[in-house]
Structure 1
Amino acid sequence: MTRKERQEARAERYRQFAENAEKRATAAFNASSAAVENIPLGQPILVGHHSEKAHRRALQRSNGAMMRSVHESEKAAYYRQKAEAVENNDNIYLGDDDAIERLEEKIAELTEKQERMKATNKIVRSKKRDEDKIAELIALGFSHKGAENVVVNGALFPAYMLTNNNARINAAKKQLAKAKSLATKEDREYEAGGLNIEECYSENRVRVYFPGKPDDEMRAKLKRNGFRWAPSMGCWQAYINRWTLDLIKDITKSNQ
């Protein structure tokens, strides 16, 4: 299963959680109404009357059910937000099957944006006639009204925007270089220090299989170095990098 497929499956699970919570909210709301359906609207508790205890119990059941309804409605909203967040997550991970292609596209888009901002500033700063500036900005992709506003106001892309965008380009290039490097390495499995190790470069993961549950000190050490327990696989895993691989060497030596 690809990361995209896992992402879609996770979003679907959240949507199902939301639907179930909405059903429980509806059921609780109906129970709240049913608890007081035989009590006339606005009827006060008749203190000392034989109906007092039953009236109070009915109100308690109604209030309790209404609180459950509110809680489940909030839970449904929470899971729907989680589903939307998962669906809208377009981050690029090195373990993605299309990581290299998407990173190359990202770099191209950011580079085009950088050149467009620089060209815009150059046009605005030039001593050409406003009409010529507007024409050149339109050629860059501005609407006529947008180009007029830029020229009339002398609007420039601030230096920090150019700096930040350039930093994003450099970061994406580094990520691309790593993705290409990982793509050339073969996955490997081996045993060391009584542990089974998987270096899964195709998924950018390193996994450690212990023969039993590690002690508190080892678990804390793993967590400090970016490892997390993966119940579905029965192992501790982390992203592959110099630090996680160094930790593997360290713990396998200490186990020998």
Structure 2
Amino acid sequence: MNRKERQEARANRLRELSVNAAKQSTEAYNQSYKMVEHIPPGQPILVGHHSERGHRSLLNRSWNALGKSVKLGEKAEYFERKAEAAENNNSIYLGDDDAVDRLQEKVDALEKAQGMMKAANKIVRSKKLNDIAKVEQLQTLGFSENKAIELTKPDRYGEYGFPSYMLSNNNARIRDAKLRRDRARKLKETEDKEYTISGVRVVENAKENRLQLFFAGIPSKEIRSQLKENNTFRWTPSIGCWQAYLNRWCIERAKVILNSITE
């Protein structure tokens, strides 16, 4: 299953949870209504009457059912927002099948932006061009007319064009993207490793950038607690294993936990 398929599967699971919660919310609302539909609107509780106790109990149950309906409705909205976020998640993960290509595209886009900013600064800071000529040349670089005019005006510090911090920040993003691209490429070229510790199958899945632990059964509560500490490992039902990012720290942490298992 590639990244896109996992993303779609997660969105579908969340949307199913949303639909179920919405259905339960409607059922709770209908239950609340049916409990009191036979009571005339505005009918007061007859204090001292034999019906008082039943009337109060019915109103309480109806109110609780209504409260349950509201909470389930909020739960449905929560899962729907999570599903939309999953569908629109365009983050690049090192284990993605297309990570190298997408990171290279990011590097190319950032380097193009860097080149445009440098070229724009050279134009707007030229002493040989008037503002009209500057705007025309900026447009040939790909800037809109409004943006070109904006660049020819000084900022609050009296500087023209793109400030140095924008160039520095973009350079930092370029370096980071290149490092991640090279890391992703290395992962794709690395062979997976598989071994066993205390009866647990350990897979260093380089292609997915995941460290995977396959237990023969359900690990003890203590082991599960250690795995979940600091959100290091997470249970992945679709694969049937505990997963973490593949790095030296997680590998060493897994060895410590697994070696602590006693028969």
SS in 2 for 1:157: coil
* Alpha-carbon shift at residue 233 of structure 1 (Å): 4.5
Residue-pair matches, total:
255
Q: Name the structure 2 match of 1:44.
A: 44
Q: Is the 1:225–1:244 Cα contact (8 Å) retained in structure 2? A: no
Q: Distance in 2 between matches of 1:107 and 1:44?
A: 72
Q: Distance in 1 between matches of 2:90 and 2:11?
A: 13
Q: Distance in 2 between matches of 1:91 and 1:242?
A: 23
* Alpha-carbon shift at residue 250 of structure 1 (Å): 6.8
Aligned pairs (5 A) from 1:66-77: 66-77=66-77
Moved more, 49-58 or 3-12: 49-58
* Alpha-carbon shift at residue 245 of structure 1 (Å): 4.2
* Residue 187, structure 1, aligned to residue 188, structure 2: no
Moved more, 75-84 or 175-184: 175-184
Q: Is the 1:225–1:243 Cα contact (8 Å) retained in structure 2? A: no
Change (3 A) 1:209 1:25: closer
Q: Deviations over 1:103-158 (max 9, x none)?
A: 11111111112222233333322232110111122222222233223324556333
* Alpha-carbon shift at residue 81 of structure 1 (Å): 0.8
Q: Name the structure 2 match of 1:220.
A: 226
Q: Name the structure 2 match of 1:132.
A: 133
* Alpha-carbon shift at residue 199 of structure 1 (Å): 2.2
Q: Name the structure 2 match of 1:141.
A: 142
Q: Which amino acid aligns with 2:212?
A: R
* Residue 162, structure 1, aligned to residue 167, structure 2: yes
Q: Distance in 2 between matches of 1:200 and 1:126?
A: 54
RMSD: 3.0
Change (3 A) 1:250 1:65: closer
Q: Deviations over 1:84-115 (max 9, x none)?
A: 11111111111111111111111111111222
Q: Deviations over 1:164-209 (max 9, x none)?
A: 2221211110111111112222223234676533222111123344
* Alpha-carbon shift at residue 231 of structure 1 (Å): 5.1
Q: Name the structure 1 match of 2:210.
A: 205
Aligned pairs (5 A) from 1:8-23: 8-23=8-23
The structure 2 residue matched to 1:243, chosen from 230, 243, 249, is 249
Q: Distance in 1 between matches of 2:199 and 2:248?
A: 22
* Alpha-carbon shift at residue 230 of structure 1 (Å): 4.2
Q: Name the structure 2 match of 1:83.
A: 83
* Alpha-carbon shift at residue 61 of structure 1 (Å): 2.2
Q: Name the structure 1 match of 2:27.
A: 27
SS in 1 for 2:152: helix
Q: Distance in 2 between matches of 1:246 and 1:60?
A: 55
Moved more, 191-200 or 91-100: 191-200
* Residue 104, structure 1, aligned to residue 104, structure 2: yes
| Structure 1: tracts of 5 or more residues without a match | none
Q: Which amino acid aligns with 2:23?
A: K
Q: Distance in 2 between matches of 1:192 and 1:59?
A: 59
Q: Which amino acid aligns with 2:125?
A: R
Q: Distance in 2 between matches of 1:42 and 1:252?
A: 65
Q: Is the 1:225–1:247 Cα contact (8 Å) retained in structure 2? A: no
Q: Distance in 2 between matches of 1:219 and 1:53?
A: 47
Q: Which amino acid aligns with 1:151?
A: T
* Alpha-carbon shift at residue 27 of structure 1 (Å): 1.7
Q: Distance in 2 between matches of 1:169 and 1:56?
A: 68
Change (3 A) 1:170 1:45: same
SS in 2 for 1:186: coil
Change (3 A) 1:168 1:39: same
